[in-house]
Amino acid sequence: MATHDRESINLGHTLNKYYDKQILEFAHLLGMRESIYKNLENEKIHVYIPYREMIPYLFRRLYENMDTLKYIF
């Protein structure tokens, strides 16, 4: 699961505990929801660092989330 959503993280962790094995792995961007991921025990967590071409990455994310900008300003 590549997510920063607290509910999705909790759901994935609950499913792994329910099946008593690692059916899901987690992935997140460095600096995003690290406090939640640090509290997960016995989970495989991948941390991605978008260091190459950072500006195009940020503009793409901005474009993907344009509808949320109206709530910020």
- For the segment 10-40, what is each residue's pLDDT rounded down to a tens digit? 999 999 999 988 899 999 888 788 888 888 8
Q: Is residue 73 over pLDDT 70?
A: no
Long-range contacts, 44-52 (Cβ 8 Å, 24+): none
List the chain domain ranges.
Answer: 6-72
Q: Is residue 60 over pLDDT 90?
A: no
pLDDT at position 21, please?
84
Q: How deeply is 22 buried, as exposed, middle or buried, from its count of CB atoms within 10 A (0-12, 13-18, 19+)? A: exposed
Contacts of 33 (CB under 8 A, 6+ apart): 4, 6, 9
